[in-house]
Amino acid sequence: MPSLDKARRRGVKVRIAAPVDSSNKKVAKDLSRVAEVRAAEDLKARFMIIDSEQLMFMVLDDDKVHPNYDVGIWLNTEFFARALEQMFEIAWNKFKRV
């Protein structure tokens, strides 16, 4: 969490949307000190949008593959990043605050 706090202090807007339930509610509350956290029920996607220019997609399902074998794809494409960001904004407004 120190890295997220450092980024926040530099002015980076950190937002996390994730399924939140009784098993991880404390973690979500802890993260809310350094990021805006919202509960996104049944969300299976894992991605990051960086500076409206780059994307990072995690492509394997944690329920089926051990996290040690996770794979990410990094894309440097402003057009696609902005398109996904616009869709995320629409969904973000529907997620519940934690």
Domain count, the chain: 1
What CATH number has the domain bearing residue 34? Answer: 3.30.870.10
CA distance 67 to 86: 29
Q: Specify the pairing of strand 54-58 against strand 72-76.
A: antiparallel
Q: Tokens for 58?
A: 């995690």
Residue 66 has a pLDDT of 93
Residue 64 has a pLDDT of 93
pLDDT one digit per residue (tens) for the chain, 98 residues:
899 999 999 999 999 999 999 999 999 999 999 999 999 988 889 999 999 999 999 999 988 999 899 999 999 999 999 999 999 999 999 999 99
Q: Name the pTM for this structure.
A: 0.86
Residue 42 has a pLDDT of 82
Residue 1 has a pLDDT of 82
- Domain that residue 33 falls in: 2-97
